[in-house]
Amino acid sequence: MRKLIVTEFITVDGIAEHERLPNVVWNDAMNKFKEDELADSGAMLLGRVTYEIFAGHWPSETGAFADRFNALPKYVASASLKTVDWKPAELLEGPLPEAVARLKQQSGGNIHVHGSLSVARQLLGAGLVDRVRLLVYPGAAGQGKQLFPHDAPVALELVSAAPLGNGVVAMEYATVARG
């Protein structure tokens, strides 16, 4: 079965809105984190907003990372989009938890959720996420959108934690089955 892995940039107080992250210098360690993540990816699962941001940027990028990123299958969760042009991509049909449960049963590599807070929150609440990777930025935002759902506690077990040399700490957690 494929794993569903959520990756988020987040502040120390749990805010995952990109606009609220403190500025840090992107360095070689962060590049390596993203390259390793890409090497592990079999597909991307994106919400509408993240899909539109990525589709507006990545197709014009070049190089090995961009070529691999652009070539990955993309599954898009959206009630408003009717078509997706950044190929290979397809719109998910039906309720998100059921659509993702079907995707996880298919063959192929791991499915990565980048950003897409509402999608990540729904899937965490439904117990469908296998791993959570957090790039924890050095600062507290005080307010903003949080990653974890308020109505469904998520038990996590630390897999790894590594400082990236610029104040950011990469943390990986496995979700712990409920019950």
Please report, as a single letter, which amino acid is at residue 127: G
Say if residue 67 is exposed, middle or buried (CB neighbours under 10 Å; 0-12, 13-18, 19+): exposed
Taking the C-alpha atoms of residue 31 and residue 10, their distance in angstroms, rounded to an integer, is 17
The pLDDT score that the predictor gives to residue 150 is 81
- 4-175 fold: Dihydrofolate Reductase, subunit A (3.40.430)
Average pLDDT value for residue range 67-94? 95
The pLDDT score that the predictor gives to residue 172 is 98
The pLDDT score that the predictor gives to residue 19 is 84
pLDDT at residue 179 greater than cutoff 90 = no
The pLDDT score that the predictor gives to residue 178 is 67
Give the pTM: 0.94
Q: Are strands 169-175 and 131-137 parallel, antiparallel or unpaired?
A: antiparallel
Confidence of residue 139 (pLDDT cuts 50, 70, 90): very high
Q: pLDDT (tens digit, 9 = 90+) per residue, 146-167? A: 998 788 789 999 999 999 999 9
Cα-trace Rg, the chain: 16
> Angle at Cα 73 formed by Cα 72 and Cα 75, nearest 5°?
135
Mean pLDDT of the chain: 94
